[in-house]
Amino acid sequence: MFKIQFLVDLAVNLLKGITNIVGNYGVAIIILTIMMRILIFPLTLKQEKSMKKMREIQPELDKLKEKYKDNPQEFQKRTAEVYKENGVNPLGGCLPLLIQMPIFVALYYALIGNAIPNDATFLWFNLKKPDALFQITNTLSFNLLPILNTAATFVQQKIMTGSTGDKQENNPMQSMLYTMPLMMLFIFYRMPSGVTLYYLFSTIFSVIQQYFIMKGRN
């Protein structure tokens, strides 16, 4: 709890400091997002190198999968050996996301608590509530930000799936193309819009970074 509170206090102080300069908490969240993406850019490059190695060893993994299709344990063992021999960490691509999680959690606690004013707004929405572009029924609203976030996540997954070079239906990256955006829609639909705003711009910035990395690679 102490660590969470420390991170919450840090996130609040950063937001208040940026807000004092720009005059709006929403703009401050976007600036904080860009700052975080710039800070973890070296990890993004490392992620791309890891994915490149995964592409290079994919034919070998496909052969192992066919050879040991009736022996999953042996397949896992051989796959681990290939990863080790080639210096590949299959979870390396998750590192940028894991680095951002403390800020994400801290921002969530800051927005549901009293650290940020209840009247903190950006565009049409209150940052401490779902954005509610309009009401569908008395209990259900149309929240635009989570839908935009879902679309951005789909584009991100599409780029990542294409960069692996493996179009097989049983490829985990291929299945994540649809499951990840749907998960994001479910998770963020009732979230405070400030948290969704952070994740949306983080995803958009990630897509832009990935585009230029892939363009430079080609």
- State how far the alpha carbon of 157 is from the alpha carbons of 136, 162, 193, 217, in Å: 30, 8, 22, 18
Measured between alpha carbons, how far is 87 from 32 in angstroms, rounded to an integer? 33
Burial bucket for residue 212 (CB in 10 Å: 0-12, 13-18, 19+): exposed
Q: Note the maximum CA span of the chain.
A: 62
Question: At a CB cut-off of 8 Å and minimum separation 6, what does 131 contact?
Answer: 124, 125, 143, 144, 145, 193, 196
Domain boundaries, given as residue ranges, for the chain: 2-217
pLDDT of residue 163: 52
Measured between alpha carbons, how far is 61 from 50 in angstroms, rounded to an integer? 15
pLDDT of residue 21: 92
pLDDT of residue 95: 59
Where do the DSSP E strands lie in 69-197? 121-122, 125-126, 134-135, 141-142
pLDDT of residue 173: 52
Tens of pLDDT, residue by residue over 202-212, are 888 888 877 77
Tens of pLDDT, residue by residue over 106-154, are 777 777 777 678 888 888 888 888 888 887 887 788 889 999 988 988 8
Measured between alpha carbons, how far is 156 from 205 in angstroms, rounded to an integer? 10
**% of the chain residues with pLDDT over 90:** 2
Lowest mean pLDDT among 37-41, 108-112, 149-153, 158-162: 158-162
pLDDT of residue 105: 78
3 state DSSP class of 18 = helix
Tens of pLDDT, residue by residue over 57-107, are 777 777 777 777 777 777 777 777 777 777 766 665 565 666 667 777 777
**How many residues does this entry show for the chain?**
218
pLDDT of residue 91: 60
